[in-house]
Amino acid sequence: MHRSRLAGFIIDCKTDDLASAASFWARALGMPVRDRDANGYERLEADERDLHLEVQQVSHESRVHLDIETDDVEAEVARLERLGAQRVGQVKTWWVMQAPTGQRFCVVRAKDLDTRVGANCWR
Amino acid sequence: MHRSRLAGFIIDCKTDDLASAASFWARALGMPVRDRDANGYERLEADERDLHLEVQQVSHESRVHLDIETDDVEAEVARLERLGAQRVGQVKTWWVMQAPTGQRFCVVRAKDLDTRVGANCWR
């Protein structure tokens, strides 16, 4: 048995100026930058919407991707493979996957999912 | 004075089989298909997360895009233009825009934003 749910969305920006990119999205969405990080992303304040939203500096073309969070990454990745997704690569503690419809998305670790709205329990 | 907020996300799928695409995302996210529509999209049940989530059949490459909802589309589009976004085209009641960071997104109509969590008031 494990749990998972939609964690949020990452706004991937091909840019040399992450601060400007994050500033645009913060003002567009009305969600201030919450954390600035030296590792190439800035997190927006989206707790009110119960979402994880990041603006991330990337080298590929700009896009938006979604994250699924889970208390058991390996079990969740295996579940998604059975639905037709493919593993692309492991990065630190998370997996990059590709949907059968072509979009990349990530499966990331989460704690306390039993208390989070919208978490599904898979048996 | 007008209001806007993040409405949700559209999972754009380049596919001839929208039902299979929607089925994958419904099961991946644990959000059942709520409405099937003859116009090329299926809406997922994401009310619990206060999000509008759709799987949409498109002719361009698959991607994910976000929607901003507002009680005044023209005022919101003008506000986003001042932040650096560009109008791409009007479709029915909404505008397709392009962020300075490259992603396409839509500005759509909404009602009762004064009662919705996370709505911003712009003066």
Using an 8 Å Cβ cutoff, are B92 and B25 in contact?
no
pLDDT bucket at A56, cuts 50 / 70 / 90: very high
Chain A CB contacts of B6 below 8 Å: 29, 31, 46, 49
The sign of the torsion formed by the CA atoms of B75, B79, B80, B84 equals: positive
As a whole number, the mean pLDDT across chain A is 96
Subunit contact B9:A9, Cβ cutoff 8 A: yes
Is A1 in CB contact (< 8 Å) with chain B?
no
The band of B37, judged by pLDDT with boundaries at 50, 70 and 90, is confident
Minimal Cα–Cα distance from B10 to chain A, Å?
10
Q: pLDDT of B96-120, one tens digit each?
A: 999 999 999 999 999 899 999 999 9
B78 inside 8 A of chain A by CB? no
Is B98 at the interface with chain A, CB within 8 A? no
pLDDT value at residue A36: 86
Phi-psi region of A40 (alpha: psi -120 to 50; beta: other; left: phi over 0): left
Rounded-to-integer distance, Cα A119 and Cα B101, Å: 32
CB contact under 8 A, A101 and B62: yes
Q: What is the pLDDT of residue A35?
A: 87
Q: Give me the residue from A50, A80, A102 closest to B14, CB to CB.
A: A102
Helix, strand, or coil here: B75?
helix
Q: Which of A83, A95, A3, A75 is nearest to B24 (CA)?
A: A83
Kindly determine whether residue A101 and residue B68, on different chains, have CB atoms separated by under 8 Å: no
Nearest by CB to B30, which of A5, A20, A64?
A5
Q: Please say if the pLDDT value at position A31 is more than 80.
A: yes
B80 CB within 8 Å of a chain A CB = yes
Tens-place pLDDT, residues A81-107? 999 999 999 999 999 999 999 999 999
In percent, how much of chain B has pLDDT > 70? 100
* CA–CA gap between residue A3 and residue B64 (Å, rounded): 24
pLDDT at position B36 is 86
Q: What is the distance in angstroms between the Cα of A46 and the nearest Cα belonging to chain B?
A: 8
Name beta bridge partners: B57: B13
Structure tokens at B108: 């759509």
A64 three-class SS = strand
A-chain residue closest to B69, CA distance: A29
Nearest CA in chain A to B11: A103
Residue B117 CB partners (closer than 8 Å, separation 6+) = A48, A49, B50
Predicted TM-score of the model (pTM): 0.97
pLDDT at residue number A38: 74
CB interface of A with B, residues 18-37, below 8 Å: 20-21, 24-25, 27-31
Q: How many Cβ pairs closer than 8 A exist between chain A and B?
A: 118
For residues B84-95, give the mean pLDDT: 97
Task: Give CA–CA dist B20/B13, Å, rounded.
Answer: 10
Q: Is A82:B27 a contact under the CB 8 Å cutoff? A: no
Contact B64 A118 (CB under 8 A): no
CA atoms within 13 A on the CB side of A105: 28
